[in-house]
Amino acid sequence: MGGATSQYFGTFSESWSNPNVVPSVLDKPKHDPLFGFQNERETREIKASQDDLYWAKIPASRRDYCADHLIEFQRCRKQNYPFLSKCEHIKHEWDHCQNEDTILRMKEFERERRLLKREERKRLREEAVIQ
């Protein structure tokens, strides 16, 4: 992710000095998601169906793992418009889901970074042995 709250100075300085260990923001992760896990990982599912997303007119950028909470929020908003303060608790649930999703993505970024660092260390060790 490269977000400033995660690692202010680390990724910034490393992106210039050692770009091999900084995960790309634009591309997908290079490592297998199951690498290092003995048992299968918990699969994430989008609880809202494509039909629900279509009829609720959820934009493409918001069709993620928290879309079911968003649909509930939009429903509450429609029922209580313009008194939107009544939907604050549902909005908080959506915000909480998004926050947990962000933390998960930050952890995935950190995992990718540590795997890249591990590869870099192995590569340097092999080069030292050859020399």
Q: Which two tokens stand for residue 128?
A: 């030292």
Summarize as ranges the residues that interact with another protein (CB under 8 A).
1-5, 8-9, 11-12, 15, 25-26, 57, 59, 62, 70, 74, 77-78, 81-82, 84, 95, 98-99, 102
Shortest distance in whole angstroms from residue 131 CB to another protein: 34
Shortest distance in whole angstroms from residue 47 CB to another protein: 18
Indicate the residue among 59 and 127 with the shorter CB distance to another protein: 59
Distant-in-sequence contacts of 32-37, Cβ < 8 A, 24+ apart: 35/115
Shortest distance in whole angstroms from residue 4 CB to another protein: 5
Residue 62 DSSP symbol: G
Residue 66 contacts residue 101 (beta carbons within 8 Å): yes
Total count of residues recorded for the chain: 131
